[in-house]
Copies of this chain bind each other. A is one copy, B any other.
């Protein structure tokens, strides 16, 4: 199987390494970088358009490991549509295209009978998107998740007594927060992930514009202390029903499964007509995102049909 990468940063490199470790019959034929196409990997960048690159290299799968562009999802969105036209499957770890244009992208994939894998966009390698594949026909009425490790780490530290600034500094020192943590801290990253999950579990076509979100930057130190005294813990909860998508800080009680999701761990509670299901695990890291991509690749190559 031939894979072409869109982007070649930490996740892309971890993915190539994971393929090597698993000795899979998958060949990475090249990567689009900012400066152009590199094919084979390690060669020189050449100015080649994505359309031409797809034509010349004719991969079976386009794997998007590029950085999110939340303005319009480009160049990813156009690259996906070009890939689908040629029957090329797409697997993405990049949230932006799906948070902005889920319906357009999925409809085109279906029309062209190509597959779209995007486990890595939410909770990295922990089945959140792909859990739906083994929960067919279940009527979901609510999703509640802790989908951002950075903010959960900061809130966990604040619960332990640190100020927001101290907790953020520690998160940055530990590598759990970006130098510019804005999109994590203000709830935007959680909102993008919630959009994707809602579309998967409710079969809807929402965009991130449909999410009412707020972040953790205005959480008051003394408020957190009061909650702690009452046995409550602050969490940035991403919540979706059929009618509303929302991200906001909630003070949770001990009997809430999300209460026990601490530090950089992510967790998702799926409430359905038959049962509540809770899944949790680490939601970040290049190797875990790479595994999310690999799991999509193996599921798609086993011939499983799209379930979303």
Contacts and interface: CB of A to CB of B under 8 A. Distances in A.
Nearest to A128: B134
Interface in A34-70: none
B295 A135 contact: yes
A25 interface: no
A5 interface: no
A71 interface: no
Nearest to A280: B278
Interface stretch (A166-174, A223-231, A298-306): A298-306
B275 A126 contact: yes
Given A131-B134, A134-B131, A260-B260, A126 B298 contact: no
A138 interface: yes
Interface stretch (A106-114, A242-250, A281-289): A281-289
Interface residues of A, number: 38
Contact of A134 (B124, B127, B278): B127
A275 B125 contact: yes
Interface string A260-277: 100000000000001111
Contacts of A302: 136, 304-305, 307
A272 B119 CA distance: 18
A134 B279 contact: no
Contact of A277 (B119, B126, B138): B126
23 contacts: A22-B137, A125-B274, A127-B131, A127-B135, A133-B133, A133-B134, A134-B295, A136-B294, A136-B298, A136-B302, A257-B260, A274-B287, A274-B288, A275-B281, A275-B288, A275-B291, A276-B282, A277-B281, A302-B304, A302-B305, A303-B304, A303-B305, A304-B304
Interface of A: 22, 24, 119, 124-127, 130-131, 133-138, 257, 260, 274-282, 287-288, 291, 294-295, 298-299, 302-305, 307
